[in-house]
């Protein structure tokens, strides 16, 4: 996963994740990566990913985090 702050003060992140070796050109909402990033940053973040996915994540302490959000279906995506 690659990420950058859109607005660090607001906790807004833009990220992209690719799994081409697995036949997935881009993962539109990578929850597992969001969990890791949130735990590392140790703060609540909102992640804009893919063409329209939004993930909300917050740390829970002791290296744990939780994530939720919404994902839009990519009509152009091909099944793996």
Domain region containing 26: 2-70
Q: Is the pLDDT of residue 28 over 50?
A: yes
pLDDT tens profile 48-62: 987 788 999 999 998
Query: Is the pTM here over 0.85, yes or no?
Result: no
d(CA 8, CA 22): 32
Q: With beta carbons less than 8 A apart as the criterion, state whether 43 and 11 touch.
A: yes
Structural tokens at position 30: 């990578």
21 belongs to a structural domain: yes
CATH number of 66's domain: 3.10.310.10
80 belongs to a structural domain: no
pLDDT tens profile 63-80: 889 999 987 776 665 554
25 belongs to a structural domain: yes
């Amino acid at each position: 996963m690659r990420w950058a702050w859109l607005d660090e003060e607001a906790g807004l992140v833009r990220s992209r994740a690719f799994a081409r070796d697995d036949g997935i050109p881009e993962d539109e909402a990578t929850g597992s990566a969001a969990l890791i990033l949130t735990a590392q940053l140790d703060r609540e973040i909102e992640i804009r990913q893919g063409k329209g996915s939004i993930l909300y994540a917050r740390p829970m302490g002791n290296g744990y985090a939780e994530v939720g959000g919404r994902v839009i279906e990519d009509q152009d995506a091909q099944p793996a």
